[in-house]
Structure 1
Amino acid sequence: MTEAESSAVDGTAPVKDAAPARNRPPSWWLLLGRDRAAAVGAVILTVVVLVALFGRLFIGDRARRQDLDASLRPPSLGDGVYGLLGTDVLGRSVLARLIDAAATTLSVAVPAVLCSLLIGSALGLWAGYHGGRRESVVMRVADVILSFPSLLIAVVVLYVFSPSALNIVLILAVARIPVYLRTSRAEAAELRSRLFVDAARTFGTPSRHIIYRHILPIALPTLLTVATLDFCFVMLTESSLSFLGIGIQPPDVSWGLMVAQGRQYLQTAWWITVLPGLAIVLTTVSATVLAAWARIATDPAQRWRLTLPRKRRGASAAVPPEMIP
């Protein structure tokens, strides 16, 4: 007796096969693992952040401990762990100073980016959603800030006031606000005419709730991508200020200050300048590569590119696979 006949006898409907489960989108970790360059960049940035957060707990005062008998020793395996990258003119371990400088550099770059991101995005979303006079006033303020080169403003202000980490953070944060303000304003101005925003407005939803619940989640991936790229700019600016002598001041140390202090020994002790410069390059390049990956991964229209095999990526993959006849 077949299944249908037995079902007819029992008076029950035949059991159908369960519908196949929908294909879930790949996780972020899987997408990151499929892009080797972005994965390497993420690993480098993770190491830098961990070193900046916990490195000082292990090195103690090694970054400031002087030993003139060990002055300008080249990188060697015979001088212990702290001699792997050599010493500077005062006999201080370059490895310990790199670890200490990582914390200082990130303590300037990260707060500056976060402050400018929060203030600029809030003002831009508010101005772009409401439009009119409020938008004009906010954009004119952004134009005034952009009319002055950020590095020149930092040089003038730090020359007048005492150069400190707090002053550098405030200057860089104010100088980078227009970047997020203009980006978020453009996003909000385009989204305020969408159907879902009109529906929320029709039901009497307050403006702040529309901005926070409907516009911000869509604009956030773009803002985070801009913030990742801006982190590179801020870190390079801080290094430039320290190199000019108006940034981080001794006894504190940053990567830019290490490059400045070792430039006169470049021919005799290259490791003093090259190694912190290499740390700057690796960190900024890793952040740039990761930002490019995040731009694609957070865009639903482009995310499918990361699921393709590496050989099919690029110009040949012009349309999603499901649209190919």
Structure 2
Amino acid sequence: MAVAACAVLLLVGLCAVLGPPLLGDLAREQHLRAVKLRPFSTDEGWEFVLGSDSLGRSVLARLVVAAGTTLSVAVPAVLLSLVVGSVWGMWAGFHRGWRESVSMRIADVILSFPSLLLAVVVLYVFDPSVANLVAVLATARIPVYLRTARAESAELRGRLFADAARTFGTGNWAIVRRHVAPIVLPTLLTVAAVDFCFVMLTESSLSFLGIGIQPPDVSWGLMVAQGRAELQNAWWTAVFPGLAIILTTVAMTVLAGWARMAGDPAQRWRLTVPRKTRKGERP
């Protein structure tokens, strides 16, 4: 399952990187003689293998180009929130005191607003551009990494290796960088993999509501929004981008579960035991 998930994500990544320069023009071209072509037919050319929309645009080309737009929002938002939240959380959890209290109250204030509602309000006031989407989604997800990193580093602060490092005169930031961060990082990466699904679904929801990606750009959520009015006679214009969202999120969730098991010494043995013996307890 993990290998299949990696294959799906690799395909999506290749589409995101190679799609816009190769199929960008094809995704915008209108062929009024090929309006609402049904999928799985190559009579009008290979580019219409997944059908066309009401303007004669290739659904396949738009799917490939939309992958780049969707990932250009989800990946930077997750990376930005991961870096800021992790560093902030390890700093607060290792030093404790007022730093931890202030950081947790800020996280509570941000988490008190639903992420989707906060994004709707901010994007309604400001221009719904890609930069604003990344900024608001990253800000809304920082507390997730902040709370996780704070809890992990606060527990590691009292370990013997941290006390030994302080005894030899090692500074706090050096202890965090050399000893705490390598232990906390696998957990944070697993959280980031799961959070990637949430951010991508949020971007798709915002585009579906009309305050996310704006035409002439295209994203999977925007394709679903544009195709919902044609479900009766052109269902493929909304179903295929919806399937792309589902497959990508499921693949990332499966990969996150595998990574969590592989990174946990207490669970790693499950990956090496033959399938027939996994039904019982650990031998």
TM-score clears 0.5: yes
1:58 alignment counterpart: 22
Alignment match, 2:146:
181
Where structure 2 has 5 or more consecutive residues not aligned to the other structure, the ranges are none
Q: 2:163 pairs with 185, 198, 202, which one?
A: 198
Name the residue aligned to 1:16.
none
- 1:299-325 per-residue CA deviation (whole Å, 9 max, x = no partner) reads 1221111001122225x1x33x4xxxx
Instruction: Please give the secondary structure, in 1, of the residue aligned with 2:29.
Output: coil
Residue 110 (1) aligns with residue 72 (2): no
The answer on 1:238 being equivalent to 2:224 is no
CA distance in 1, matches of 2:24, 2:213: 20
Cα distance in 2, alignment partners of residues 107 and 272 from structure 1: 22
Deviation string, structure 1 residues 39-94 (Cα, Å, up to 9, x no partner): 11111001101110112232240010011121111111222220100001110000
Question: Which residue matches 1:271?
Answer: 236
SS at structure 1 position matched to 2:158:
coil
- Give the aligned CA root-mean-square deviation in angstroms: 0.9
Amino acid at match of 1:64: R
Deviations 1:144-201 (A, max 9, x none): 0000111111101111111111100000000000000000001001100000111001
Contact 2:34 2:44 in 1 (8 A): no
| Corresponding residue for residue 15 of structure 1 | none
Residue number in structure 2 paired with 1:33:
none
Matched, 1:46 2:10: yes
Aligned equivalent of 1:67: 31
Q: CA-to-partner distance for each residue in 1:261-307, whole Å, 9 max, x for gaps?
A: 00000111010000000000000000000000000001122111100
Following superposition of structure 1 onto structure 2, how do residues 173-322 of structure 1 map, counting pairs within 5 Å? Answer: 173-314=138-279, 316=280, 318-319=281-282, 321=283
Deviation at 1:239?
0.2
Q: Count matched residues.
A: 282
Deviation at 1:203, TM superposition (A): 0.6
Equivalent position of 1:86 in the other structure: 51
The residue that corresponds to 1:167 in the other structure is 132
Q: Residue 147 of structure 1 is aligned with which of 102, 112, 132? A: 112
Give the structure with the larger helix fraction.
Answer: 2
CA distance in 1, matches of 2:100, 2:139: 19
**Within 1, Cα distance between the matches of 2:273 and 2:46?**
43
**Which segment drifts farther, 231-240 or 75-84?**
75-84
One-letter identity of the residue aligned with 1:40: A
> Counterpart of 2:56 in 1: which secondary structure?
coil
Kept in 1, the 8 Å contact 2:224–2:239? The answer is yes
* Structure 1 residue 119 corresponds to structure 2 residue 119: no
Q: Which amino acid aligns with 2:34?
A: A
Percent identity reads 68
Shift of 1:38: 1.2
Larger CA Rg, structure 1 vs 2: 1
SS at match of 2:28: coil
The SS at the match of 1:69 is coil
The one-letter amino acid of 2:89's match is: G
Q: Residues 223 and 237 of structure 2 are in contact (CA less than 8 Å); yes or no, is this contact kept in structure 1? A: yes
| Separation of aligned partners in 2, 1:101 and 1:312 | 43
3-state SS of the aligned residue for 2:33?
Answer: helix
Q: Distance in 2 between matches of 1:281 and 1:259?
A: 12
**Which secondary structure state, in structure 1, belongs to the residue aligned with residue 215 of structure 2?**
coil
Gaps of 5+ in 1: 1-36
Normalised TM-score (structure 2): 0.98
Aligned partners of 2:2, 2:85: CA distance in 1, in Å? 27
Rounded Cα–Cα distance in structure 2 between residues aligned with 1:312 and 1:43:
27
Q: Secondary structure at the match of 1:62?
A: helix
Structure 2 distance, partners of 1:50, 1:213, is 35
Query: Letter of the aligned partner of 1:65 in structure 2?
Result: E
